[in-house]
Chain A
Amino acid sequence: MQKTRLLRSTPVRYALVFGASSTLVMGALLAVIYWWMNSLLERHLEEGIEHQIQVLRADLTQDGLESMLGLVRQHVKKNRGSPVHFLVQDRAGNVLAGDLPPIKPEVGWQDITHSELGDAANGDRPALRGRGGWFDENTFVLVTNDTDDLHESRELILRSFGISLAATLALALGGGLVIGVVLLRRVDAVNRTARAIMDGDLSQRIPVVGPRDELGGLAEGLNRMLARIEELMESLRHVSSDIAHDLRTPLGRMRQRLETCRMKTRRNVEYEAAIEAAIEDVDGILKTFEAMLRIAQIEAGARRARFSPVDLSEVAENVAEAFGAVADDEGKRLVATIEAGVIVTGDRELLTQMLANLTENALRHTPAGTRVDLCLERVDGEVGLTVSDTGLGIPPEERERVFRRFYQLDASRSTPGSGLGLSLVAAVAKLHDTAVLLEDNNPGLRVSVAFAGKMGV
């Protein structure tokens, strides 16, 4: 199992392919070098012999046989133990000079075997290479050179080439295998984590070990992604349970009402009232769904395609006017300070809803007799939209959380409102590339949204 996996591993396969091909290329290269060196050595040897023959032939022509024989004898005497050997013999086969036994005279390049030299033990292996020729009618001259050196050199070259080839192959294959095993082990760690996560343990992380290389970076990147996913899953779980809670309450209430009605009611008016109340409950639930879907749609961002210049001043006036009357009736005051002609690029409908939500939110959390301020102004090329109240405010540590879906400060969820208002505000702000800032109004809450004042007049 482990073996087949190793063979299937990419680095191992690369190593095998590279090892094989580099060995092949190197082998070819070494063969060429070998051939070239061999011929170089042979040529060198032959040139030496050729030179000697020329010298001897010149001597014979100029100074006669005796002088040449003297030269040969001198050479033999002086170079005892040298690889160069001479033979001068007459037609009868008598050796006139030289250090070789008489042989059957042959003209031209030749290899002389050990047996020819009377060394039967080494048989037909060539011992000498030389060139022979008749200098005159009765004088056969053979100059040879020992080829043992040549053979030795050849063997040496071949052996060293073989060793380096084998080493290359071993290194390539072994290195590939080691890299493969190491990589496989690290990838396995990632895989194990992935499997554990798929099995449901989202808290698993890929162990970041070894050098800080690409794989380490990958592991860190994946870990960050996993952390984000875990966070999202956590909030999803939260939202799901909150949805369930928020929907179970009205559904339960509706069920109770209908059941009470079935048990007790005899009169049509009461039935009607019960149906009326049930419809109201269902409408409430539908409203929650509508809000959730709306937020999801806003977050999907498709509406950005419909962005156009929006007169934010007009939107603010409209909202302030609509809710001003409501505030009055509740004994509160909504004070609007709106700079005219503030234009931003955006979605009018959503900006209206955002501001309406913020205003409603402020009014809802403000006791009677206080005021809520709605302010739109241009500061340093930015457009600032602010809704501030003097109510209870939001503790700093809760401020991040209020944008979560279904999050309500009051844990008992007894106050009206779906807990989606601020989520929608945040989604709209994000769609407009901005964010909602919650600050202390001392006392109360100050909510502001800043827009890049693009087309400000």
Chain B
Amino acid sequence: MKILVIEDDTETAAYIGNGLKEHGHTVDLAANGRDGLFLAAGEPYDLMVVDRMLPEVDGLSIVKTVRGAGIETPVLFLTALGGVEDRVTGLDAGGDDYLVKPFAFSELLARVNALARRPPIASAEVVLRVDDLEMDLLKRKVTRRGQLLDLQPREFRLLEYLMRHEGQVVTRTMLLEHVWDFHFDPHTNVVETHVSRLRAKVDKVFDTALIHTVRGAGYSLHAPD
């Protein structure tokens, strides 16, 4: 993937750039808002990682301008610690996701992958399928090998999110945000508890596991290798 990183702090920029390169992405770095805007408007990118606080042109203005020009490249905002307000304003301005600094690289990578492979909004799938697991979104029914699974509504949402991100790493924070709408980190193991319950229903009675734990990062749902 071709990714544009607009970040003025050279150390953070290098951290992001090198990490993404290591994972096979092509990265362009811009150290200020003007250069970033210039690149974003001139070249096609698969994804943009934009810091909110930038010299010359700030991140919000960049994204607003880019969106105004009809460029729909997914944008991941980086915001400062404690910036409670930033998430909403960032999403309002046309950002697709946000990440609070400092972050774990695995978190950034997971979000980058999720954003880049986000299915077009138009494609309203009715049935999600991963290996022998099937989810009917209309009838709200889940079956594995034809066998009906009895899921709670929240477990259904959790599984749906995992299935929509098949093969990708999904972090705890992503699950908290998208499944529970929790934009904070609870002290208790909410995600772990629910994932283990889901596993008991989806994986336990079958000989192959679909939900995998990715150490130090999160979870991933995919067919056994």
Beyond the given pairs A303-B85, A349-B183, 15 more chain A to chain B contacts, judged by CB atoms under 8 angstroms and listed by A's residue number, are: A279-B104, A286-B102, A289-B81, A293-B81, A293-B82, A294-B184, A297-B83, A297-B84, A302-B85, A303-B84, A321-B153, A322-B154, A322-B190, A325-B194, A353-B184
Tell me which residues across on chain B come within 8 A of A294, comparing CB atoms: 82, 84, 184
Main secondary structure of the interface of A (DSSP, over half): helix
Considering the chains assembled together, what is the distance between the CA atoms of A286 and B194 in angstroms?
25
Q: Which of these, B82, B153, B187, contacts A297 with CB under 8 Å?
A: B82
- Closest residue of chain B to A306, judged by CB? B88
Could you tell me how many residues of chain B have their Cβ less than 8 Å away from some Cβ of chain A?
27
With A297-B82, A322-B154: A356-B216 Cβ-Cβ less than 8 Å: no
- Closest residue of chain A to B196, judged by CB? A329
Considering the chains assembled together, what is the distance between the CA atoms of A302 and B154 in angstroms?
32
A70 within 8 A of B: no
Tell me which residues across on chain B come within 8 A of A326, comparing CB atoms: 188-190, 193
Considering the chains assembled together, what is the distance between the CA atoms of A287 and B188 in angstroms?
14
* B183 x A356 contact (CB < 8 A): no
Tell me which residues across on chain B come within 8 A of A296, comparing CB atoms: 82
Q: Which of B167-198 contact A (CB under 8 A)?
A: 180-190, 193-194, 197
9 tightest A-B CB contacts, nearest first: A293-B82, A353-B184, A325-B193, A326-B193, A326-B188, A297-B84, A322-B190, A349-B183, A322-B180
Tell me which residues across on chain B come within 8 A of A353, comparing CB atoms: 182-184
Q: Which of these, B104, B180, B188, contacts A363 with CB under 8 Å?
A: B188
B157 shortest CB reach to chain A, Å: 10
- Closest residue of chain A to B180, judged by CB? A322
Q: Which of these, A286, A302, A352, A360, contacts B181 with CB under 8 Å?
A: A352
- Closest residue of chain A to B152, judged by CB? A321
B41 within 8 A of A: no
Most chain-B CB neighbours within 10 Å: which of A325, A326, A353? A325
- Closest residue of chain B to A330, judged by CB? B188
Produce 1/0 per residue, A354-373, CB < 8 A to B: 00100010011000000000
- Closest residue of chain B to A314, judged by CB? B181
Considering the chains assembled together, what is the distance between the CA atoms of A353 and B81 in angstroms?
17
Considering the chains assembled together, what is the distance between the CA atoms of A294 and B83 in angstroms?
7
Considering the chains assembled together, what is the distance between the CA atoms of A326 and B185 in angstroms?
15
Produce 1/0 per residue, A321-361, CB < 8 A to B: 11101100100000000000000000011001100100010
B100 within 8 A of A: yes
Considering the chains assembled together, what is the distance between the CA atoms of A201 and B85 in angstroms?
38
Considering the chains assembled together, what is the distance between the CA atoms of A348 and B187 in angstroms?
19
- Closest residue of chain A to B189, judged by CB? A326
Tell me which residues across on chain B come within 8 A of A363, comparing CB atoms: 188
Tell me which residues across on chain A come within 8 A of B100, comparing CB atoms: 290
* A416 x B182 contact (CB < 8 A): no
A63 shortest CB reach to chain B, Å: 118
Q: Which of B126-176 contact A (CB under 8 A)?
A: 152-154
B-side interface residues toward A, CB under 8 Å? 81-85, 88, 100, 102, 104, 152-154, 180-190, 193-194, 197, 216
* B197 x A325 contact (CB < 8 A): yes
27 contacts between A and B (CB under 8 A): A279-B104, A283-B104, A286-B102, A290-B82, A290-B100, A290-B185, A293-B81, A294-B82, A297-B83, A302-B85, A318-B180, A321-B154, A322-B190, A323-B190, A325-B190, A325-B194, A326-B190, A329-B193, A349-B183, A349-B184, A352-B182, A352-B183, A356-B184, A360-B186, A360-B187, A360-B188, A363-B188
Considering the chains assembled together, what is the distance between the CA atoms of A325 and B154 in angstroms?
11
* A287 x B185 contact (CB < 8 A): yes
B185 shortest CB reach to chain A, Å: 6
Produce 1/0 per residue, A261-303, CB < 8 A to B: 0000000000000001001000100110110111011100011
A417 within 8 A of B: yes
Considering the chains assembled together, what is the distance between the CA atoms of A380 and B189 in angstroms?
37
Considering the chains assembled together, what is the distance between the CA atoms of A276 and B216 in angstroms?
9
Tell me which residues across on chain A come within 8 A of B184, comparing CB atoms: 294, 349, 353, 356
B18 shortest CB reach to chain A, Å: 17
A330 shortest CB reach to chain B, Å: 9
- Closest residue of chain B to A276, judged by CB? B216
B91 shortest CB reach to chain A, Å: 12
Tell me which residues across on chain A come within 8 A of B84, comparing CB atoms: 294, 297-298, 303, 349
Most chain-A CB neighbours within 10 Å: which of B85, B104, B153, B187? B187
Considering the chains assembled together, what is the distance between the CA atoms of A294 and B86 in angstroms?
12
B180 shortest CB reach to chain A, Å: 5
B198 shortest CB reach to chain A, Å: 10
Tell me which residues across on chain B come within 8 A of A293, comparing CB atoms: 81-82
Considering the chains assembled together, what is the distance between the CA atoms of A292 and B16 in angstroms?
26
* A416 x B187 contact (CB < 8 A): yes
Considering the chains assembled together, what is the distance between the CA atoms of A293 and B81 in angstroms?
8
Most chain-A CB neighbours within 10 Å: which of B81, B193, B216? B193
A361 shortest CB reach to chain B, Å: 9
B94 shortest CB reach to chain A, Å: 18
* A356 x B193 contact (CB < 8 A): no
Tell me which residues across on chain A come within 8 A of B188, comparing CB atoms: 323, 326, 360, 363-364
B100 shortest CB reach to chain A, Å: 7
Considering the chains assembled together, what is the distance between the CA atoms of A276 and B104 in angstroms?
12
Tell me which residues across on chain B come within 8 A of A348, comparing CB atoms: 181
A161 shortest CB reach to chain B, Å: 76
* B181 x A318 contact (CB < 8 A): yes
Tell me which residues across on chain B come within 8 A of A283, comparing CB atoms: 104
Tell me which residues across on chain A come within 8 A of B81, comparing CB atoms: 286, 289-290, 293
Considering the chains assembled together, what is the distance between the CA atoms of A298 and B82 in angstroms?
10
* A356 x B194 contact (CB < 8 A): no
Considering the chains assembled together, what is the distance between the CA atoms of A326 and B153 in angstroms?
16
Tell me which residues across on chain B come within 8 A of A279, comparing CB atoms: 104
Considering the chains assembled together, what is the distance between the CA atoms of A303 and B186 in angstroms?
21
* A356 x B185 contact (CB < 8 A): no
A355 shortest CB reach to chain B, Å: 11
* B82 x A289 contact (CB < 8 A): yes
* B82 x A356 contact (CB < 8 A): no
- Closest residue of chain B to A363, judged by CB? B188
